Structure 1
């Protein structure tokens, strides 16, 4: 696999979410971090509207909640390479990284109740191939209709990102799908 170049920002309006800090945890007191993580935003036009690839987390933070596929940035790896690798490892799906769409921070309670600090960089990707499947980190992986995804028990970062997704897709210069897919109502089954 060749190197993936510099990660362009796709959202000219600057998509950055405020830090999420659980009650009782004071910023500046993180035991671990900041750890850089990547998330893969993989929309797909199903013909019945927009679907988004989500995974149900197996481990803390937020076990059992739905999130974007992703993981840690490895030393020497670019953000786009990490997003591609984590997506393939976690779901079996292949996608082309287009650029950075969103950045957020999270201070979460880790093992033993100790706070951990994460900086998560979400990369917008164009779906290429593969049917999602869970792995050791994800109990389940699947494409979920966009409106249904908003009703799932999501991680805080995934909720913020999904609520901003129409704006992210509408403002970026490289389009992973037809933006009309956001507006389409699902077709009735024949």
Structure 2
């Protein structure tokens, strides 16, 4: 009997990781202002991005996003709410992740954590959408813009 292969599988060296991304507003009344960080690590070193990172073993996505925001910005991430997911595949960087995006409010003073980021800045959402952001963060911000303006 002849074996049919409709969907040939390709082996890849990319390992898929689960990550989180945070859209942080300074208050609930200012959803059109968001915090971005400039990356100090590869891939996408020196690009602006949403705070976030990998979900650690035995950690929930919610716990991870709160931890990552604190580690990268010094802020407490208040009332994180799930927004969307993004399938991020960048073979040129040997990177594949499923990013879970949350939005919420940052409480406290922002503090630069130089191991991970070189800059932290608040941006009008409209301006942030024009920047060359890391990963698929522009798409995530487009989902956020649609959600807050609908």
- Partner residue in 2 for 1:6: none
Distance verdict in 2 for CA 1:48–1:88, change over 3 Å: closer
- Partner residue in 1 for 2:104: 125
- Partner residue in 1 for 2:59: 77
Give the alignment of 1:95-174 within 5 angstroms.
95-109=77-91, 115-170=94-149
Q: Quick one: which of 75, 86, 99 aligns to 2:68? A: 86
TM-score (norm 2): 0.80
Bigger shift: residues 127-136 or 60-69? 127-136
Distance verdict in 2 for CA 1:34–1:169, change over 3 Å: same
TM-score (norm 1): 0.65
- Maintained 8 Å contact 1:94/1:130: no
Structure 2 segments unaligned to the other structure (5+ residues): 1-8
Structure 1 segments unaligned to the other structure (5+ residues): 1-26, 172-190
- Maintained 8 Å contact 1:33/1:117: yes
CA distance in 1, matches of 2:79, 2:56: 17
- RMSD between aligned alpha carbons? 2.5
Q: Quick one: which of 32, 35, 41 aligns to 1:59? A: 41
Q: Are residues 1:34 and 2:23 paired?
A: no
Which has more strand, going by share of residues?
Answer: 2
CA distance in 2, matches of 1:143, 1:132: 13
Distance verdict in 2 for CA 1:33–1:126, change over 3 Å: same
Post-superposition offset of 1:138: 1.1
Post-superposition offset of 1:64: 1.5
User: What SS is found at the alignment partner of 1:133?
Assistant: coil
Post-superposition offset of 1:79: 0.7
The number of residues matched between the two structures is 142
